[in-house]
Structure 1
């Protein structure tokens, strides 16, 4: 199975349906915390929903359209990240991520995203990585800012969020900006 050992505490693994129960439990435990920022929580109501999502992500990976990884911190699932979209025509990868509240503040996501960026630049030879974050989501925005991304602007009403729309800040990092 695909995995990347980042350090002695942190491992990234290709997301597979066998992780569904534990990942669903992390989602369930953090539902109130995550609902502030993630618009899809209402569609995940039972472990089978998570399993279907992971099946879809594996299918998208097999077609070269995306990569979904599960974050393991000290042997426990802490969250997920991945290339939600791999646009091979334009050489752009769009990264998304989320993590359980108890795992925040340890630099886990920053290290995981840094590794994912390198994977995209070297494996898929993408020329640009994008991260889109809610304007008010300062914790999520801090990750691309720490990693040297450029704030490329704000997309107005770019994400349907339950009963309204949210603006998203777009961050970009070019391959030649990392070398």
Structure 2
């Protein structure tokens, strides 16, 4: 099984849809108001089976090398997810997306997960460039990018649709030779 050990307490692993799906759904559902603004796709995740089907789809995308979604585990509990949302094979690049349950935030989990994921991307997937795009007002996501060593490249104007309004996004990147 593909997995990445970020620390003694943090690991990233391929989703097991029928096992991890209910856990991820419950984590998101109990904090729906907190997450929906920055994760607009959550509005489409209404019941457990929606999450199970999503994980099945992400595993198919992994099989076709289109994307990679992994579950973040912290002290043997499902804590969130991290993904390469799309592999751009011509540019040897990918963009990272991530979310973490509120009770797991503030412990350095996501920063370690991103660093582990970056290594996986450079070493196992042959990437040269990895990007993170974060809404300008998403302080937590911007802080993760900075702590993980990503370089701020600029702001993309009205690049993300959140709550039916376009928002500016900060663009960060990390190159293989930056490490």
Deviation at 1:165, TM superposition (A): 1.4
Whole-angstrom CA distance in 2 between matches of 1:5 and 1:176:
22
| Secondary structure of residue in 2 paired with 1:49 | helix
Structure 2 residue aligned with 1:54: 55
**1:163 alignment counterpart:** 164
What's the CA shift for 1:75?
Answer: 1.1
After the TM superposition, which of the residue ranges 154-163 and 103-112 deviates more from structure 2? 154-163
Distance in 2 (alpha carbons) for counterparts of 1:166 and 1:44: 23
Q: Higher mean Cα deviation, 162-171 or 77-86? A: 162-171
Residue aligning to 2:41: 40
User: What is the Cα deviation at residue 77 of structure 1?
Assistant: 0.6
Q: Note if contact 2:127-2:176 (Cα within 8 Å) is conserved in structure 1.
A: yes
For 2:166 and 2:54, locate their aligned partners in 1 and report how far apart those are by CA, in whole Å.
23
Q: Does 1:2 align with 2:2?
A: yes
Aligned counterparts of 2:139 and 2:50: Cα–Cα separation in 1? 29
- Deviations, residues 99-136 of structure 1 (Å, cap 9, x unaligned): 11010000000000000000110111111000000101
Long gaps (5+) in structure 2:
none
Displacement of 1:144 after TM fit? 1.3
Partner in structure 1 of residue 123 of structure 2: 122
**What secondary structure is seen at the aligned counterpart in 1 of 2:7?**
coil
CA distance in 1, matches of 2:6, 2:148: 16
TM-score (structure 1 length as normaliser): 0.95
Matches within 5 A, 1:138-149: 138-149=139-150
Deviation at 1:91, TM superposition (A): 0.6
Q: Distance in 1 between matches of 2:54 and 2:163?
A: 19
Q: Matched residues in 2 for 1:131 and 1:91: separation?
A: 15
Secondary structure at the counterpart of residue 40 of structure 1: helix
Offset at residue 67 of structure 1 (A)? 0.7
Runs of at least 4 residues of structure 1 off by over 4 A? Answer: none
Which structure 1 residue ranges, 5 or more long, are not aligned?
Answer: none
For 1:16 and 1:95, how far apart are their aligned partners in 2? 20
